[in-house]
Structure 1
Amino acid sequence: MDQEATYRGTVYPWQCDHVGHMNIMWYVGKFDEANWNLFARLGLTPSYLRSSGRGMAAVQQNITYKRELLAGDIVEIHSRLLEIGDKSLRFRHEMRNAETGEIAATCEITGVHMDRGLRKSAPFADAVRQTASMHLAEPAEV
């Protein structure tokens, strides 16, 4: 799944804090945008989520900050599906400075597939499970 970025963007000056680097709230925002691109590749497209009454909710998120990102830096995120359960996904994002290739941050998230009307977890549809299974990272990639 690592072939194409799930997010590309830049760090704007207004996203930087008093120390001069991108504030943590923007890391979370960029990882969130990558989530939705990853979900679409797995079959959890906006039209599927709307028509099925389903949604995704993060239940755990762990971010590791490795390098600063500064105003003007170009950011690229690549994502890997690590695990698919009956009602949940575990995946990892890797945020890099696109110019230097250095890893700026990683984020591992567990997300739950839910029925939006009942506000409870729900099993993935077979078609989604089949599509997502084709994107599982090999154990050596993890």
Structure 2
Amino acid sequence: MTTVAAAGDRLKNMPLPPAPFLSSVMQIEPQWIDYNGHLNMAYYNVMMDRAIDEMWLQLGIGPAYMKERHSSTFTAECHVRYIREIHLGDPVQISVYLLGHDEKRLHTFEELRHATEGWLSATSENMTLHMDMNARKVAPFPPDIRARIQAVVDSHAAVPRPEGVGRKVAMPSG
């Protein structure tokens, strides 16, 4: 069996992730705390990227995909909103919504929440590109991956869209 065929078989037997996908619970690392005594803005992105990596495994586009099919994803655009401070010792968990896709892109929205108290700390909305790593160019997803992505998008469409999707950076009017 070819590597691609084996990967496709693994994907068919893997259950779909929940809607929304929930990351593992993460802990704030001490070196991430800035001089203001809270989580530095860069590390919100680190944690949300870790959550995306966990979800990509469920989509079949993680490190094995890169190795076997020479394809990966790159973030093309990101909009982060910082809503409430997170501090050292706060456990966090990230919900990932797969909002949409086309043959070469994924649209995701992440909510970083306090893992035990449930309050929202930050959100991140992202556009991700599928890459042919041999050519280092944007390329279509293979049919088996596209089918799995569609199944997850359909599942996520059944839950309410999170507040903040589609927001833009602008000065308040008025």
TM-score in same-fold range (> 0.5): yes
Match of 1:37 in 2: 54
Match of 1:138 in 2: 157
| Aligned structure 1 segments of 4 or more residues deviating by more than 6 angstroms | none
Give ranges in structure 1 of 5+ residues lacking alignment. Answer: none
Q: Which has the larger radius of gyration?
A: 2
Q: CA deviation at 1:140?
A: 5.4
The RMSD of aligned alpha carbons is: 1.4
SS in 1 for 2:157: coil
Match of 2:32 in 1: 15
Q: Higher mean Cα deviation, 100-109 or 4-13?
A: 4-13
Distance 2:158 2:76 in 1: 23
1:9–1:76 Cα contact (<8 Å) kept: yes
Length-normalised TM-score, structure 2: 0.77
- Larger relative CO (CA 8 A, sep 6+): 1 or 2? 1
Q: CA deviation at 1:4?
A: 4.8
Aligned length: 142
Structure number with the higher helix fraction is 2
Distance 1:2 1:18 in 2: 37
Match of 1:75 in 2: 92
Match of 2:8 in 1: none
Give ranges in structure 2 of 5+ residues lacking alignment. Answer: 1-17, 162-174
Structure number with the higher strand fraction is 1
Is residue 30 of structure 2 the alignment partner of residue 27 of structure 1? no
Q: How does 1:103-114 map to 2 (within 5 A)?
A: 103-114=120-131
SS in 1 for 2:74: strand
Is residue 71 of structure 2 the alignment partner of residue 54 of structure 1? yes
